[in-house]
Amino acid sequence: MPGEQIKQNFEGVKQLIDSYKLEINKVVVDVKVFSVEQETVPIYAISFLNISDATLRILNKLREEFLSKVVIGTIQLTEEEGSDIKRKFEEEIRILIKKYFPGIDYDTANLLVSHVMQQNVGLGNIEILLKDPQLEEIVINNSFEPVWVYHRKHGWLKTNITIPNEARIRHYATTIGRDIGKEITLLQPLMDANLKSGDRVNATLSPISSKGNTITIRKFSEKPWSITDLIVNKTINAETAAWVWMCVQQELSMIIAGGTGSGKTSALNAIANFFPPNQRIISIEDTRELTLPNTLHWVPLATRLPNPEGKGEVSMLDLVVNSLRMRPDRIIMGEIRRKKEAEVLFEAMHTGHSVYGTLHANSAEETITRLTNPPIEVPKTVLSSLAAILVQNRNRRTGFRRTLQFAEIQQSGDPKVIIQLDVAHDRFTQVAAPSRLLETLNLYTGLSPEEIGRDLQEKTKILNWLVSQKINDVHQIGLLMSKYYTGKLRV
């Protein structure tokens, strides 16, 4: 088999858990998830449906002849000449295909050329994993154990793909870095990078990672999460989402908190579905992950690391300060990490800007603790400019992502949890009546508590209608929201 080895057999009784197909460059890939008695986690296995085993063996011989002519990885591809060299590779492979498969028809030749190119110019079978929309994370720990993946439905899985040697893993890391002008060497054994698709990559070299070279790829979701998706997946319920919508509509600032992998960015993306179309939105991220409705007046900004000489850095603080000069109505910050960034953001809240950002914290109480202690350390007295906290949580045992808490911020800066997840029964419960939120909404809108209640019921009805109609595209939801704000959406 060209590229990585694919192990087809696993000893023991297999129990099929899931099965689906992918089509990648005309190659049909069969994906099966199954459990095996001897394995502690399920297996994610791929196989090629429209390429026979005999053909794969011949392609392996073809690959050896191809590599004897061109040593992939020793050629330094520049942005300008990369596509030209790949075209030459393709021409050479096409000649070898005709040699090994005389009389082959045009369509089949194209299929085999695409397969050989995918296996030998790029990341090999890792490219297949990157094309599976069900996968969130792809992990290479070393060349001695299988590649691991994190599946949306099934959590962590072992794959039937193994990397043949440590040099191949290092080559993949070098290839990824070279495409964006970064290096990973023994002197610089750590690398953060992004694929052109937006996927985030972290790589480490041995002996820093003592078991071998590693690559961790967090996939960029091709379809951004919408508020409908979160409700359908029971991450949040319509009633809690209606409160979030109310806060966003009335320009109240909010922080989305949670642990790693809890769905903070997905929730932030879904909350952006509620922005009105007549306001200017500036988003600030280390890596572009947000996708807002195309109905919005949105300007995305991204940080930049310094070059090898230590020049050219554009920090999160630079962008936060700069965004205030861009006449924003709303500011979205990917993650709040440092004191200066937080000070500027809270100053922006005090001057009338709506701010939305994420923070690593596991509860509303912990969010306040993190904000008011080093390294962020903002005075508790300024927290009253924040209206609410939405806390996301991922259950490590089940893999389920849920909204854990929705809390208002009181005048003292302390949180008051309004809605909380009943983990034992997997349902949302109102544990307290809102007070400061009602006061703030009354102050700025004149709405009485009864009118606020009716408005929340109307929003809940609209959200349930979106679910019933299976409207989960962020751009379509954005269009409906623009109609809602202009009074053209009939409830």
Encode the chain (491 residues) as per-residue pLDDT tens digits. Answer: 344 556 655 666 789 999 999 988 778 899 999 999 888 899 999 988 777 778 878 887 887 777 776 554 434 444 444 556 677 788 888 888 888 888 888 888 888 887 787 777 778 889 899 999 999 999 999 999 999 999 988 989 999 999 999 999 998 999 888 877 788 999 999 998 888 777 889 999 999 999 999 999 998 877 889 999 999 999 999 999 999 999 999 999 999 999 988 999 999 999 999 999 999 999 999 888 899 999 999 999 998 877 777 788 999 999 999 999 999 999 999 899 899 999 999 999 988 899 999 999 999 999 999 999 999 999 999 999 999 999 999 987 777 899 999 999 999 999 999 999 999 999 999 999 999 999 999 999 999 999 999 999 999 999 999 999 999 999 999 999 999 999 888 76
Question: Are residues 279 and 184 part of one domain?
Answer: no
Q: Look at the chain and report how many structural domains it folds into.
A: 2
> Residue 36, Cα to own-chain centre: how many angstroms?
30
Q: Within a domain: residue 491?
A: no
Contacts of 368 (CB under 8 A, 6+ apart): 380, 383, 413, 414, 415
Give me the CATH number covering residue 334: 3.40.50.300
Looking at residue 318, its pLDDT comes to 94
**Is the peptide bond prior to 375 cis by the omega test (within 30 degrees of 0)?**
yes
Domain boundary among the residues 218, 252, 270 is at 218
Segments of 229-292 assigned E as strands: 254-258, 280-285
Question: Are residues 285 and 174 part of one domain?
Answer: no
Question: Are residues 236 and 201 part of one domain?
Answer: no
Looking at residue 10, its pLDDT comes to 66
Looking at residue 79, its pLDDT comes to 42
Looking at residue 222, its pLDDT comes to 74
Torsion of CA 272, 276, 278, 283, to 10 degrees: -10
C-alpha 294/C-alpha 144 separation (Å) is: 45
Instruction: Assess contact for 351 and 343: CB atoms under 8 A.
Output: no
Looking at residue 263, its pLDDT comes to 92
Local structure of residue 304 (DSSP, 8 states):
B
Q: Within a domain: residue 163?
A: yes
* Nearest residue to 331 (alpha-carbon basis) of 355, 301, 367: 355
Instruction: Assess contact for 489 and 477: CB atoms under 8 A.
Output: no
Question: Are residues 129 and 154 part of one domain?
Answer: yes
> Residue 451, Cα to own-chain centre: how many angstroms?
38
Question: Are residues 315 and 273 part of one domain?
Answer: yes
Instruction: Assess contact for 391 and 404: CB atoms under 8 A.
Output: yes
Looking at residue 4, its pLDDT comes to 59
Domain boundary among the residues 197, 218, 239 is at 218
Question: Are residues 369 and 300 part of one domain?
Answer: yes
Tokens of 129: 């994993």
* Nearest residue to 288 (alpha-carbon basis) of 273, 303, 274: 303
Neighbours of 449 (CB within 10 A): 12
Domain boundary among the residues 159, 191, 218 is at 218
Question: Are residues 293 and 181 part of one domain?
Answer: no
Question: Are residues 266 and 212 part of one domain?
Answer: no
Question: Are residues 414 and 300 part of one domain?
Answer: yes
Q: Within a domain: residue 490?
A: no
Local structure of residue 221 (DSSP, 8 states):
P
C-alpha 260/C-alpha 164 separation (Å) is: 31
Instruction: Assess contact for 147 and 159: CB atoms under 8 A.
Output: yes
C-alpha 346/C-alpha 329 separation (Å) is: 14
Give me the CATH number covering residue 128: 3.30.450.380
Contacts of 326 (CB under 8 A, 6+ apart): 280, 282, 299
Question: Are residues 164 and 66 part of one domain?
Answer: yes
Query: Directed axis angle between helix 449-468 and helix 436-445, to 10°?
Result: 100
Amino acid at position 390, single letter: L
In angstroms and rounded to an integer, the radius of gyration of the C-alpha atoms of the chain is 26
Contacts of 451 (CB under 8 A, 6+ apart): none
3-state SS, residue 189: coil
Domain extent at residue 19: 5-218
Looking at residue 21, its pLDDT comes to 95
Taking the model in full, what pTM does it have? Answer: 0.82
